[in-house]
Amino acid sequence: MRLLLISNSTNSGEPYLGYPGEQIKAFLGVNKVKALFIPYAAITFSYDEYEEKVAVRFGELGHEIISIHHFTDPVEAVNNASVIVVGGGNTWKLLKMLREFSLIEIVRKKVIGGVPYIGWSAGANVACPAIKTTNDMPVVEPDSFSAFNLIPFQINPHYTDFNPPGHAGETREQRIMEFIEANPGIYVAGLREGSMLLLENDKLALSGPKNVRVFKNGLLPAEFGESDDLSFLLR
């Protein structure tokens, strides 16, 4: 499999998909591709608007996209895709639509078969076994939490250590500790903004200036950087 799983689309003060642009370009290669874009995580803006925004950036990188919402048969669109791109937004809405259109198994089959997959934020969440480590509010209700299960661990995009002064509520780390207590044996990768995970040739690595924080029940949280081999998360 070839996966590029990105924490967030935009860093403060940067253009849309600015910081991951070079990684996306390298991931897709020198030959122009036309990727299938899945915009279902959008709620407060239309799929057409989302497609246009992503298309502009991919065009700057030398590639094209076409959104799945233009196809009368979404399953056939996935079957014919040479690259699959899943955008961020609300993870619950994204998963609900993926499941309603019966896309979970077909996307999984295509990606396991070698079709490259790029996802950011919610698009990275749904690459996991389930969406239980999303930060989003469940504004809609999918019939299951189960997602693409392309990787055996969970990602928490937008991971942050920040705890505002005077804030008495749970931190992000405390929330993840609750997850690993209830789900022993499953790793969680706290993926900070500006960072991404690249899976190629059965090797998993971090790309970006900020460490990834890894959690597992019974182990102390640990920090890993770009020079570390994260392939242990795949076992």
Has residue 220 been placed in a domain?
no
Has residue 153 been placed in a domain?
yes
Query: H-type helices in the chain, by residue range?
Result: 21-28, 47-60, 74-79, 91-100, 104-112, 122-125, 172-182
Number of domains composing the chain? 1
Range of the domain at 74: 3-158+196-204
Strand stretches in the chain, DSSP E: 3-6, 34-38, 64-67, 84-86, 117-120, 154-159, 188-192, 196-200, 203-207, 212-215, 222-224
Give the pLDDT score at 98.
98
Here the CATH number for the domain that contains residue 123 is: 3.40.50.880
Token reading at 198: 């690249």
Sheet with 212-215, strands from edge to edge, namely: 154-159, 188-192, 212-215, 222-224
pTM of the model: 0.96
Give the pLDDT score at 176.
98
Has residue 13 been placed in a domain?
yes
Residue 78 DSSP code: H
Q: For each of the chain's 235 residues, which pLDDT tens digit applies?
A: 999 999 999 999 999 999 999 999 999 999 999 999 999 999 999 999 999 999 999 999 999 999 999 999 999 999 999 999 999 999 999 999 999 999 999 999 999 999 999 999 999 999 999 999 999 999 999 999 999 999 999 999 999 988 878 877 789 999 999 999 999 999 999 999 999 999 999 999 999 999 999 999 999 999 999 999 999 999 8
Give the pLDDT score at 165.
84
Has residue 225 been placed in a domain?
no
Has residue 81 been placed in a domain?
yes
**Residue appearing with tokens 């055996």:** 152
Q: Residue type at 194? A: G
Q: Which active-site residues does the annotation give?
A: 121, 136, 158
Instruction: Report whether 233 contacts 187 (CB < 8 A).
Output: yes
Has residue 43 been placed in a domain?
yes
3 state DSSP class of 172: helix
Integer Cα distance of 160 and 125 in angstroms = 16
Has residue 182 been placed in a domain?
no
Give the pLDDT score at 168.
72
Has residue 9 been placed in a domain?
yes
